[in-house]
């Protein structure tokens, strides 16, 4: 017997929405937060004269910015293609 | 001649609703950015207005389906259709203005659906209301949207604090503010796409009812442009009372919380649109703001303000329905033809002019007193 709630609400659509929301928000937050952390660490390491660590942090920040931009582009593509 | 005059009034009323929709929902897009200083208030509303305008051109997929999931379109066909749509729009506009006055971020979509449902019940009875659609497409999403956004924003702010919480405050704040500008832009685009379509749908249905368009037609270009312009102008006007509630009164927000609330909001709105599970932008953003506050500590959320907002959400549908039914009843008092909408429109414009005048005078007196 199908539960009444499953008839009124498309449970699959709801499950996809919940899952996609969590995955997208988590991925974007991690990318942006790591980019910010990388930038902050770059400033710290530069001031302390640790050149290698500074550039490593900057590279991490750059990669994360690119990842965040790619996710933004994907979001826009999804919006426009709908 | 009569039906053409009603058609003109319905189109004008639909554009007026679209304006209040933009005006009322500006807060969804800009409140958190303004609150954390990510962007200056006037620049924020201008940015949101432009992206709302652009967003309205992105898609017209759902333009013709507004309200058809909750009322039986065949039951409201015929000469009465334009009066029902007019009464529904008046119910939505009135409720949007009431909630704006009290600074309550309620859903414009729910106000529109409530208004149309109320006017339909007054005209043809409860048989024309699709109870399953009302529960599945309106009531359950209204419960799910804020809970989902609350949970996603709480998760996002926890991750943000873990990764970047112990770094220098300067670069961290600047980084999250920049992230807020981008996520706010996405929200503004999504808002323009979703909400301007409702007005396009209402005007298209009115044109079909009048015989000016064939059934099943897409919105004409002038309808798309006028709906996009009305929502953008409304957004640019800025509903500052609601911006204060969403941005400043629910929680005291830092840039990481603002980014988490907006980023979670954008993710939830875009995921729900993509999978065909429509959620209210207002419910999502306010749920996200509460979620980003509670992750810090329970008492960070002003629960009294949150309670008022949730009460407004619960009341929106029946209140807009009651006003829609009342306005439809008033049109019948004038014979059910063109006279009713004409008299009600003129009276509403006069009443609004007086109220805004009194509001401005009260504001001036407060400022100088």
Are B118 and B321 within 8 A, CB to CB?
Answer: yes
State the average pLDDT over residues B204-227: 85
Q: Which residue ranges in chain A fall short of pLDDT 50?
A: 1-2
Highest mean pLDDT among A72-81, B22-31, B43-52, B122-131: B43-52
Q: Check A82 against B259: CB less than 8 A apart.
A: no
Q: Which residues contact A50 (CB under 8 A, 6 or more apart)?
A: none
Chain B residues 59-78 with a CB less than 8 Å from chain A: 59, 61
pLDDT for position B274: 79
* Residue positions counted in chain A: 82
Residues A21-43 pLDDT 10s: 999 999 999 999 999 999 999 99
Which chain B residue is nearest to residue A39, measuring alpha carbons? B171
Helix (H, G, I), strand (E, B) or coil at B364: helix
Are B330 and B340 within 8 A, CB to CB?
Answer: yes
pLDDT for position B62: 53
pLDDT for position B367: 46
Q: Is the pLDDT of residue B338 over 60?
A: yes
Residues B59-73 pLDDT 10s: 665 544 555 677 877
Residues B225-259 pLDDT 10s: 999 999 999 999 877 888 888 888 888 889 999 99
Residue A33: list chain B partners with CB under 8 A. 159-160, 162-164
Closest C-alpha to B92, from B165, B24, B172: B24
Q: Percent of chain B scored above 70 by pLDDT?
A: 92
Chain A residues 6-65 with a CB less than 8 Å from chain B: 7-10, 13-14, 16-18, 20-22, 24-26, 28-30, 32-37, 39-41, 43-44
Q: What sign does the dihedral B163-B165-B167-B173 (CA atoms) show?
A: positive
State the average pLDDT over residues B27-31: 86
Q: What is the residue whose two structure tokens read 């065909």?
A: B276
Helix (H, G, I), strand (E, B) or coil at B71: strand
Residue of A5, A40, A75 with shortest CB distance to B164? A40
- Beta strand spans in chain B (E): none
Residue A67: list chain B partners with CB under 8 A. none
Residue of B176, B263, B276 with shortest CB distance to A25? B263
Q: Is the pLDDT of residue B99 over 80?
A: yes
Q: Is the pLDDT of residue B187 over 60?
A: yes
Q: Give the whole-angstrom CA distance, residue B111 versus residue B51.
A: 23
Q: Percent of chain B scored above 90 by pLDDT?
A: 34
pLDDT band at B153 (very low <50, low <70, confident <90, very high): very high
User: B161 - beta bridge partners?
Assistant: none
Of the residues B156, B258, B283, the best mutation for testing chain A's interface (the one with the most A CB atoms within 10 Å of its CB) is B156
Residues B274-314 pLDDT 10s: 776 778 888 998 899 999 988 877 788 888 888 988 999 99
Question: What is the distance, to the nearest Å, from the Cα of residue B322 to the centroid of all Cα atoms in its chain?
Answer: 18
Q: What is the DSSP string of B264-325?
A: HHHHHHHHHHHTT----HHHHHHHHHHHHHHTT-GGGS-HHHHHHHHHHHHHHHHHHHHHHH
Cβ-based burial of B165 (10 A; exposed 0-12, middle 13-18, buried ≥19): middle
Q: What's the first-to-final CA gap in chain A, in angstroms?
A: 34
Question: What is the distance, to the nearest Å, from the Cα of residue B244 to the centroid of all Cα atoms in its chain?
Answer: 16
Q: Counting one residue from A and one from B, how many pairs have CB atoms under 8 Å apart?
A: 127
Q: Give the C-alpha distances (Å, rounded to integers) separating B300 from B2, B110, B246, B284, B358.
A: 57, 29, 14, 19, 36
Q: Give the whole-angstrom CA distance, residue B87 versus residue B81.
A: 10
Closest C-alpha to B243, from B44, B4, B5, B7: B44
- Report angle CA A54, A55, A59 to the nearest 5 degrees: 120
Six-digit token pair at A36?
């910010």
Q: Give the whole-angstrom CA distance, residue B207 versus residue B114.
A: 22
ipTM of the complex as predicted: 0.88
d(CA A16, nearest CA chain B) in Å: 7
Q: Give the whole-angstrom CA distance, residue A70 versus residue A66.
A: 6
The CA radius of gyration of chain A, in Å to the nearest whole number, is 20
Closest C-alpha to B71, from B113, B15, B21: B113
């Amino acid at each position: 017997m199908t539960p009444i709630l499953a008839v009124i609400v498309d449970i699959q659509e709801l499950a996809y929405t919940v899952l996609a929301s969590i995955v997208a928000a988590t991925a974007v937050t991690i990318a942006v937060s790591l980019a910010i952390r990388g930038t902050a660490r770059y400033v710290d390491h530069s001031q302390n004269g640790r050149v290698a660590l500074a550039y490593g942090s900057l590279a991490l920040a750059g990669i994360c910015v690119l990842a965040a931009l790619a996710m933004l582009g994907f979001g826009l593509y999804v919006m426009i293609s709908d | 001649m009569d039906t053409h005059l009603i058609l003109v009034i319905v189109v004008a009323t639909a554009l007026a609703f679209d304006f209040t929709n933009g005006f009322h929902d500006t807060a969804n897009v800009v409140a958190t950015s303004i609150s954390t200083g990510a962007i200056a208030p006037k620049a924020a509303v201008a940015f949101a207005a432009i992206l709302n305008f652009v967003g309205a051109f992105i898609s017209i997929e759902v333009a013709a389906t507004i309200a058809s999931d909750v009322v039986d379109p065949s039951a409201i066909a015929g000469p009465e259709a334009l009066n029902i749509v007019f009464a529904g729009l008046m119910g939505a506009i009135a409720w949007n203005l009431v909630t704006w006055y009290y600074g309550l971020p309620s859903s414009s979509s729910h106000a529109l659906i409530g208004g149309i449902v109320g006017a339909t019940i007054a005209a043809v009875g409860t048989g024309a209301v699709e109870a399953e659609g009302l529960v599945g497409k309106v009531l359950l999403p209204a419960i799910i949207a804020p809970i989902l956004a609350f949970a996603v924003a709480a998760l996002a702010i926890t991750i943000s604090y873990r990764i970047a919480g112990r770094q220098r405050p300067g670069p961290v704040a600047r980084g999250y503010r920049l992230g807020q500008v981008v996520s706010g832009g996405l929200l503004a685009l999504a808002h323009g796409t979703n909400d301007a379509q409702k007005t396009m749908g209402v005007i298209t249905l009115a044109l079909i009812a009048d015989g000016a368009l064939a059934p099943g037609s897409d919105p004409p270009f002038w309808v798309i442009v006028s709906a996009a312009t009305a929502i953008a102008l409304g957004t640019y006007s800025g509903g500052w009372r609601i911006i204060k509630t969403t941005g400043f009164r629910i929680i005291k927000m830092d840039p990481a919380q603002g980014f988490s609330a907006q980023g979670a909001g954008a993710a939830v709105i875009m995921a729900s649109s993509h999978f065909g599970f429509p959620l209210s932008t207002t419910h999502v953003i306010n749920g996200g703001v509460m979620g980003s506050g509670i992750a810090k500590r329970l008492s960070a959320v002003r629960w009294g303000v949150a309670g008022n907002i949730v009460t407004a959400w619960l009341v929106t549908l029946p209140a807009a329905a009651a006003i829609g039914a009342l306005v439809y009843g008033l049109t019948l008092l004038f014979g059910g033809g063109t006279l009713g909408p004409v008299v009600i429109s003129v009276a509403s414009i006069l009443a609004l002019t007086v109220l805004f005048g009194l509001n401005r005078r009260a504001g001036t007196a407060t400022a100088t007193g």
